[in-house]
Amino acid sequence: MSRRDTLVHLFAGGCGGTVGAILTCPLEVVKTRLQSSAIPLYISTVQLSTVNGAAMTRVATPGLLHCLKMILEKEGSRSLFRGLGPNLVGVAPSRAIYFATYSTTKEQMNRMLEPDSVPVHVVSASTAGFTAITATNPIWLIKTRMQLDARNRGEQQMSALQCVRRVYQTDGLRGFYRGMSASYAGISETVIHFVIYESIKRRLLETRAATRMDQENEMARDPSDFMQMMMAAATSKTCATCIAYPHEVVRTRLREEGTRYRSFLNTVSTVSREEGFKALYRGLTTHLVRQIPNTAIMMATYELVVYLLGH
């Protein structure tokens, strides 16, 4: 792969990640709040009447709309964009590193193994995920801390710089790498996603080539091609997310300020024992509502930018 090709994938990956992050930031904030151990702040109690007239209190399971309403009422609309700064700072280099590493590794693996086979996609996605996580974890920790910093209307919100200082003063440099073990576990989601995505993409390209054999410019693309890529990305990401979602909850818990969780397995065990196994899937609906369009937008933007730059 030439230097220009690598730069094209870097730029395309950065563009895709940035566009997706901006459009889906409010859902990201809600999802993080639902995953945290501070979830009782968003749970409402419902008074029920029994047959004999006695009152009974039931705890209502929090959801996307309920949490969104609570944030808007107590903190204001600006809180729905908490952490957007670190997100924008991190998403471009993170996605750029990821896509550049993925494409470079895939190029090398295609020479060593059967081209575009499942092992090639697995190794490429794993390598890209590990590289991006290791390089950018401190940025995502700051983003999570800011999203969990719930303050009432009128109160001064913590800035990214203040958050960095608090993390360093409390935990030192090691504090910036909390939750990285859960992120490494989450590589499985990325691997599943790309294996399914590449398979669907290959079949779509084969179908397109077969139906356009008589056309003069077989490589020309129309809007339907990008819609198909978006659907492929959404489908593959949904499957991967449902399988690997618990690592998201574990990562959020490990990144909380003053967290009592110590490791990936310790968090899984503690949450399951104290809150039930279902707690490991809190925020899944919100995550899917956010992640599906985010991934579709990101992948479609990536493919579009690569295509426009003539790769």
Burial of 284 (0-12, 13-18, 19+ CB in 10 A): buried
Closest CA to 36 of 124, 147, 134: 147
The three-class DSSP label of residue 155 is: coil
User: CA 151, 154, 159, 162 torsion: positive or negative?
Assistant: negative
Residue ranges of domains in the chain, CATH in brackets: 3-308 (1.50.40.10)
List own/partner pairs for 285-291 with CB under 8 A and 24 or more apart: 285/63, 285/64, 286/27, 286/30, 286/31, 286/34, 286/63, 286/64, 286/67, 287/31, 287/241, 287/245, 287/248, 288/238, 288/241, 288/242, 289/27, 289/64, 290/24, 290/27, 290/28, 290/31, 291/237, 291/241
How many residues are there in the chain? 311
Neighbouring residues of 233: CB distance < 8 A, sequence distance ≥ 6: 197, 295, 296, 298, 299, 300
Burial of 276 (0-12, 13-18, 19+ CB in 10 A): exposed
- Show the beta-strand stretches assigned E in the chain: 45-49, 55-59
The three-class DSSP label of residue 76 is: coil
CA–CA separation, 123 and 118 (whole Å):
9
Closest CA to 255 of 125, 153, 135, 142: 142
The three-class DSSP label of residue 46 is: strand
- pLDDT reported for residue 185: 93
**What distance lies between CA 72 and its chain's CA centroid?**
23
Q: Which helix (H) or strand (E) holds 237?
A: helix 223-244
Q: Tens of pLDDT along 126-175?
A: 999 899 999 999 999 999 999 998 777 777 888 999 999 999 999 999 99
Closest CA to 154 of 76, 70, 68: 76
- pLDDT reported for residue 121: 83
Structure-token pair, residue 46 = 């419902």
- pLDDT reported for residue 57: 47
Neighbours of 26 (CB within 10 A): 18
- pLDDT reported for residue 270: 95
Q: Which residues of the chain have pLDDT under 70?
A: 1-2, 39-62, 212-223, 311
Closest CA to 84 of 132, 31, 18, 34: 18
Q: Using an 8 Å Cβ cutoff, are 44 and 28 in contact?
A: no
